[in-house]
Chain A
Amino acid sequence: MSLQPNSITNPDLSETKNAKTAKPRSLWMDSLFHLLKSKTSLIGFCIIFILIVTAIFAPLIATHSPTEQSILNQYQTPSSEHWLGTDALGRDIFSRIIYGTRISIQIGVIAVGISMIIGVLLGSVAGYFGKWADQIIMRFVDILLAFPSILLAIALVAVLGPSLRNAMIAVGIIGIPQFARIIRSAVLSVKETEYIEAARAIGAKHGRTLMQHVLPNCIAPIIVQATLSVGTAILDAAGLSFLGLGAQPPTPEWGAMLSDGRAALQNAPWVITFPGLAIFFVVIGFNLFGDGLRDALDPKLKK
C-alpha cells in the first residue's frame, strides 16, 4: 500500500547512478509533494485555510456584531455600510457569515470527531478480531446503513430535541458506518502483514498490536475519510438547521440563516443568497482537498 518504500513506487531512485544524489523522501513528504502538485487540492487547501483564518480572526474581520438587532435597518440592500445587506432583524449578514465560520468548524470537528472515534473503534475491533466481533459490529453497521442517513439524523434530533449540539451528535452518528467500513478493510489488509506477525511473535498483546502497529498504518484512509466527511457533515448539519432542528436563533449558523431568509425570498433575496454560497464554497473546499489527499496518500484509490 502507501507504505511501500520509495524505491518501488519510484523506480528512478533505485538506479545506482541516482542513488547517491537523490534523497529518499518519507511517505509524508512524498504525499505532500503529490498534494502540492495538484491544482485542485491547492484550491481546496486555500478555501480551508481562509475558513480557519476567518474563524480565528472573526471579531477583527466582522464589521458589526453578529447578533445585534436594529429593526430600523431591516432588509437593507448590500451597501458600503452593510456589505451583504441585513436580515429581518436588521442584523448584518456579512458579520453573521463571518462568525458562522466558527460554527461550521465546530460542526466539522465535533461531528466528524464522533464518527471517527466510534467508527475507528468499531472498524478496527471488527477487522482485527474478526469472527463474532466482526459479525456483530458489521451487522450493526448494516442496520445503520439501512436508513437514509439524513432521515436518521432528523429522527435522532427529533427525539433528542432540536439544538446545535444534538444536530452535531446526530450527524456524527450517521457518519459512523463509513468510518467503520473503511477502517475495517484497512485493518484487514494490515493485519496480514509480516510485521504484525513479528509483533505478535515477540509477545505484544492484542491491544498493543492494534494500537501501536495496526492503527498507525491505517492512518491514511482515516485522514482521507475525515476530510471528506467534514464537507458532508457541514452540509447535513446546515440541512438540519434549515429545517429548524439544528442551531437555534440567534446563532449565526448558515443553514439557520437560510431558513430565516425564506420568508423574504421575494423582497430580500440577498438574505438567502450569501449564506448558501458560504456553505457551498466550504463544502467544495473540503471535497477538493479530500480528493487530493486521497490521490496523494493512496494512489490505488484514485478515481
Chain B
Amino acid sequence: MLKYIAKRILLTIPVLIGVSVLTFSLIHLIPGDPAKSMLGTKATETQLKLLREELGLNDPYIVQYGNFVGKIIQGDLGESIQSNESIAYELLQKLPATIELTIFAMILAMAVGITAGVIAAVKQYSWFDNISMTGALFGVSMPIFWLGLMMILLFSVQLQLLPPSGRLSSSIELETITNFYLLDSILTWNWAAFKDAFFHLLMPGIALGTIPMAIIARMTRSSMLEVMRQDYIRTADAKGLKKRIIIFRHALKNAFLPVLTVIGLQFGFLLGGAVLTESIFSWPGVGRYVYLSVLGRDYPVVQSTILVIAIIFVFVNLITDLLYKYFDPRIRYK
C-alpha cells in the first residue's frame, strides 16, 4: 500500500511540471506585446516598460520560467494588474466561497445521482428508470448558464422564494471564522445566517450540480446493472438475504468503483463550471474572479488562478486514485 501511494505521488510530479509549463506559456500565446495588451492602447511607453520589467518579459524564456516556478514554490503568485493586490491573498479570500459551492454541488449530485442510479438499476425498465434516465439525458445536455437564468426567473423573479445573487443577505450579520458561511454559522450558532446562506447556495448549487448529477446517475445505473448480473449476487439472493442488504452491501460496494472515478473527474468539471455559475449568480468566488480578470485582461491573475485550480484538480485525482486502492485492494500499479 505504501509503495503504491509513493509511486502514485511521484507520478504527479511530471504532470505538475507540465501544468506549470503550459500555464507559463499561456502569457506568451498573447498575439503581439503582452504588456500592451494588458494596459491597453492608452498606456505610455514608460508604463509599458515598467510592466515588462515587472513581469520579467525581457528575460530569456528559461529564466522567466525559472522565476515563475521559483515564486510559486514560495507561495508568491504575483500581483493583480487591476487591484495591485497580491494574487495569492485575493485567491485565499475567494477560495472558500468556491469550495463551499463546489462541495455543496457535489454532495447534491452524489446524493441524487447515486440514489436515482441505484433505484433505476434495481427496477430496470420501470417508470422510475425511464423518467430518471430521461432526466439524466436532459441533465447532460443542459446549458447550465441557461438553467441558472431560468431558475432565477422562476424562483427569484416570479415566486420570490430564493435570492438571485450573492452569498448572504445584507441584513444578516455573520462573524466569519473560516469564510465557509455554512460552517461559520454553525460554529457561531447563528441559525438565521445558516438559513440565509443555505438559501443563497441552493440555486447555484443545483445549476452547478446538474451535469455531474446526470453523469453519476448514468454511471451508477450501468455499473449496478453489471454487478447485479454477477453470480455472487445470485448466491446472496439464493441464500435468502434481504434485498436491501444485497443491494447496499454486495452490489453497490462493488459497483461504486467506476462511480468513484467519475466523481473525481467531475470535481474538475465543477471547478471549471464554477466560472459560468459564479458569474450568473454573482457568487464572489474564484470562478467569478477568473471571469472578471479575463474581461479586464488581467493576465497574471488568469494565469495564476488557472494554475492553482489545475493543481487542486491534480490532487483531487490523486486522492481519487488512492481511494480507489482503498476500496479495491486488488489494484496494482504497473
Interface string of A63-101 (1 = CB under 8 A from B): 000000000000000000000000000000000000000
Q: A239-B145, A288-B137 are in contact. Are A143 and B22 (CB under 8 A)?
A: yes
Q: How far is it, in angstroms, between the C-alpha of A150 and the C-alpha of B276 when the chains are bound?
A: 9
Output the nearest chain A residue to B30 by Cβ-Cβ distance: A159
Q: Which of B46-54, B66-74, B198-206, B305-313 contacts A (4 or more CB under 8 A)?
A: B305-313
Q: How many residues of B contact A (CB 8 A)?
A: 52
Q: Which of B19, B29, B141, B145 contacts A283 (CB 8 A)?
A: B141
CB <8 Å contact, B140 and A154: no
Q: Which of A276, A287, A303 contacts B150 (CB 8 A)?
A: A276
Output the nearest chain A residue to B317 by Cβ-Cβ distance: A146
The verdict on A42 contacting chain B, using a C-beta distance below 8 Å, is no
CB <8 Å contact, B26 and A148: no
CB <8 Å contact, A231 and B141: yes
B86 smallest CB distance to A (angstroms): 21
The verdict on B18 contacting chain A, using a C-beta distance below 8 Å, is yes
List B contacts of A151 (CB < 8 A). 271-272, 275, 290, 306, 309-310
List A contacts of B143 (CB < 8 A). 235, 238-239, 242, 255, 258, 276, 279-280, 283
List A contacts of B285 (CB < 8 A). none
The verdict on A21 contacting chain B, using a C-beta distance below 8 Å, is no
List A contacts of B146 (CB < 8 A). 258, 272, 275-276, 279-280
The verdict on A219 contacting chain B, using a C-beta distance below 8 Å, is no
User: Number of contacts between A and B (CB, 8 Å)?
Assistant: 142
List B contacts of A276 (CB < 8 A). 143, 146-147, 149-150
The verdict on B152 contacting chain A, using a C-beta distance below 8 Å, is yes
The verdict on A13 contacting chain B, using a C-beta distance below 8 Å, is no
Q: How far is it, in angstroms, between the C-alpha of A161 and the C-alpha of B18 when the chains are bound?
A: 24
The verdict on B167 contacting chain A, using a C-beta distance below 8 Å, is no
CB <8 Å contact, A243 and B142: no
Interface string of A229-268 (1 = CB under 8 A from B): 0010001001100111100000000010010001001100
The verdict on B56 contacting chain A, using a C-beta distance below 8 Å, is no
CB <8 Å contact, A148 and B222: no
Q: Which of A158, A235, A239, A273 contacts B302 (CB 8 A)?
A: A158
Q: Which of B180-188, B246-254, B291-299, B320-328 contacts A (4 or more CB under 8 A)?
A: B291-299
B204 smallest CB distance to A (angstroms): 15
B46 smallest CB distance to A (angstroms): 25
Q: Which of A96-136 contact B (CB under 8 A)?
A: none
A39 smallest CB distance to B (angstroms): 12
Q: Which of A147, A157, A231 contacts B310 (CB 8 A)?
A: A147
Chain A, interface residues (CB within 8 Å), range: 35 or more
List B contacts of A147 (CB < 8 A). 19, 22, 268, 306, 309-310, 313
The verdict on B153 contacting chain A, using a C-beta distance below 8 Å, is yes
A115 smallest CB distance to B (angstroms): 17
The verdict on B64 contacting chain A, using a C-beta distance below 8 Å, is no
A180 smallest CB distance to B (angstroms): 15
B28 smallest CB distance to A (angstroms): 9
The verdict on B329 contacting chain A, using a C-beta distance below 8 Å, is no
List B contacts of A160 (CB < 8 A). 29-31
CB <8 Å contact, A243 and B150: no
CB <8 Å contact, A154 and B29: no
Q: A151-B306, A154-B290, A239-B143 are in contact. Are A146 and B313 (CB under 8 A)?
A: yes
Q: How far is it, in angstroms, between the C-alpha of A149 and the C-alpha of B275 when the chains are bound?
A: 12
Q: A147-B19, A148-B271, A243-B275 are in contact. Are A280 and B218 (CB under 8 A)?
A: no
Interface string of B4-17 (1 = CB under 8 A from A): 00000000001100
Known contacts A150-B276, A283-B142, then 4 further A-B pairs from the complex at CB < 8 Å, ordered by chain A residue = A148-B268, A154-B272, A159-B29, A235-B143
User: Which 6 interchain pairs have the tightest Cβ spacing?
Assistant: A148-B272, A276-B146, A143-B18, A150-B272, A283-B141, A151-B272
> Interface of A with B (CB < 8 Å)?
139-140, 142-144, 146-152, 154-161, 231, 235, 238-239, 242-245, 255, 258, 262, 265-266, 269, 272-273, 275-276, 279-280, 283-284, 287-288, 303
